[in-house]
Structure formats: structure tokens, C-alpha cells
């Protein structure tokens, strides 16, 4: 059996209705996982469901949920455990992004972005790690951070702070959850064009896009590039890896 195999694993993927999360769901299903697709838009989650490999021994499910509504999250996790018996892995792709100068970042914006990108991730982790939810054998939790957690760009301070918080939390969570054999890591992608950024100025304006492309030694990435790294961190191929951030950035942070 390949160490990348995810057969019989129950993997919860947030942000599965779009972009990187959708591609990760497709990737995990190809490696045999039973995938729980989570996001707010049920229609787009069902579209993702239709894209998954679905062999006779696989069982996927759609669970629409707003991750900033903590009661909804608690309900979702108990439904997953009721239906599938346990959770073996969590891939937290849900997130929001913006490009805003300091003067435009109100306290309201800070709250919105920290709620969506940080508090929801922490709350989700707390819920899945409650007794009886995660597999007794352990498993893997992966957060989607960003290269913005370690490099700077004009207008990216708000987004960067939220992604930096995820990246900073990984090491201590890894220390705390190792006794349950739960590994915790993050992935920091460079730029992959998806609905999160396609209308932001650094993508939409040709000159700025060219400048951005030149910052990636290998050019802009594809959602598959990130999804392959996610499959690695969810699978036994990474069984001796916890508490790390894996940059999947086409060389953005090498320069």
C-alpha cells in the first residue's frame, strides 16, 4: 500500500465549495478517502461532490456550515461522527482575503477577518478534538496559512496577521495533541488564482499581476499543487512530521 493512501480515512475539508478546498477534496477522494465537504454554499458543495472519485467502498457527505457560527459547528461535528463513526483528518481551507491599507482597516474589519480566519479555525479544532470525535488512533490536522504570514506586501497587514496567527498556533497545538497521536501542521501557499483573489488589484490589474508573477520563481501555482501537499500531510507519508509549516509557493519565499 502506498504511504500516501487515504483509504478508509474520514477527512473533513472546510472551504470545499471553492478553489483550493475543492481541489483538495478531489485529491483526497483520488487517494481513497471518505470526504466530508464543508462550506456555506450547499449548491457549490454539491458541485464538488459530483467531481469526487466515488468507488463503491467510499462514502462522501456534504455538510453546509458557517464556521463563525459555533453552535452550527458543534452540530456539524456531531453529525459527522454519527454518520461516519470518527474523524481521521481535518483540512481547514476555509478563509477570506482582502487587500486594504492601514487607514481602511476598522475594528469591525479586524473582527470580521479574525472571526473568519482565526477564531473559526481554533473553535473547529477544539470541537474535533473533543472526546469521542477524533479517531482513537490519531490522525492529522492541516491549516491553510499563507506566504503572507512570513513576507510583506502593501495592503496585506490584516490578512497577514490572521494567517500568521494560524501558523504560530500550529507548534503549540502539535505539542498538546501529540499524546493523542494527532499531528498538526500548516501549509503556506504562494499565489494560486481562485475566487478568493481573482478580483483583488494584484491579480486583476495586468501590471501588478506581472510584478506578482515575477516574485514566484516557478510562476503562479495551481490548486493541485497545494492539494498534493495537503494529501501528503494528511497521509502516513508524513507520519513523523508535526508542528511544521510547509511553504508551497513556487519559490516566492526563496528570494
Residues of the shown chain interacting with ligand NAP in the complex, contacts defined by CB under 6 A: 14-15, 17-21, 39-41, 44, 66-68, 93-97, 116, 144, 146, 189, 191-192, 194-197
Q: Which is nearer to ligand NAP, 6 or 149 (CB)?
A: 149
In whole angstroms, how close is the CB of 179 to ligand NAP at the nearest point?
Answer: 28
Smaller CB distance to ligand NAP: residue 89 or 189? 189
In this complex, which beta carbon is closest to ligand NAP, that of residue 169 or of residue 189? 189
Spatial CA neighbour of 27 closest among 222, 252, 243, 239:
222
Q: How far is the CB of 240 from ligand NAP (least distance, A)?
A: 25
Supply the minimum distance, in Å, between the C-beta of residue 57 and ligand NAP: 27
Nearer residue to ligand NAP within complex by CB, 64 or 178:
64
β-strand partners of 37: 13, 62
Task: State the nearest-atom distance from the C-beta of 69 to ligand NAP, in Å.
Answer: 8
Question: Looking at beta carbons only, is 30 or 42 nearer to ligand NAP?
Answer: 42
CB of 134 to ligand NAP, least distance (A): 20
Amino acid at each position: 500500500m502506498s504511504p500516501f493512501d487515504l483509504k478508509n480515512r474520514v477527512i473533513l475539508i472546510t472551504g470545499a465549495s471553492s478553489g483550493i478546498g475543492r481541489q483538495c477534496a478531489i485529491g483526497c477522494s483520488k487517494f481513497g478517502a471518505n470526504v466530508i465537504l464543508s462550506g456555506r454554499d450547499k449548491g457549490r458543495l454539491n458541485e464538488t461532490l459530483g467531481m469526487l472519485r466515488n468507488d463503491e467502498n467510499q462514502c462522501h457527505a456534504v455538510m453546509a456550515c458557517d464556521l463563525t457560527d459555533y453552535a452550527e459547528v458543534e452540530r456539524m461535528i456531531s453529525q459527522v461522527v454519527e454518520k461516519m463513526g470518527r474523524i481521521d483528518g481535518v483540512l481547514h481551507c476555509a478563509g477570506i482575503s482582502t487587500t486594504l491599507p492601514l487607514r481602511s482597516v476598522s475594528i469591525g474589519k479586524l473582527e470580521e477577518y479574525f472571526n473568519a480566519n482565526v477564531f473559526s479555525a481554533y473553535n473547529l479544532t477544539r470541537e474535533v478534538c473533543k472526546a469521542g470525535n477524533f479517531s482513537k488512533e490519531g490522525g492529522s490536522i492541516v491549516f491553510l496559512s499563507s506566504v503572507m504570514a512570513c513576507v510583506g506586501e502593501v495592503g496585506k497587514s490584516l490578512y497577514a496577521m490572521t494567517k500568521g496567527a494560524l501558523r504560530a498556533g500550529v507548534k503549540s497545538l502539535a505539542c498538546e495533541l501529540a499524546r493523542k497521536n494527532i499531528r498538526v501542521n500548516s501549509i503556506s501557499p504562494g499565489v494560486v488564482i481562485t475566487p478568493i483573489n481573482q478580483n483583488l488589484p494584484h491579480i486583476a490589474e495586468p501590471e501588478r499581476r506581472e510584478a506578482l508573477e515575477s516574485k514566484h520563481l516557478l510562476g503562479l501555482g495551481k490548486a493541485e499543487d497545494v492539494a498534493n501537499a495537503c494529501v501528503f500531510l494528511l497521509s502516513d507519508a508524513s507520519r513523523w512530521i508535526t508542528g511544521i509549516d510547509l511553504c508551497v509557493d513556487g519559490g516566492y519565499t526563496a528570494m
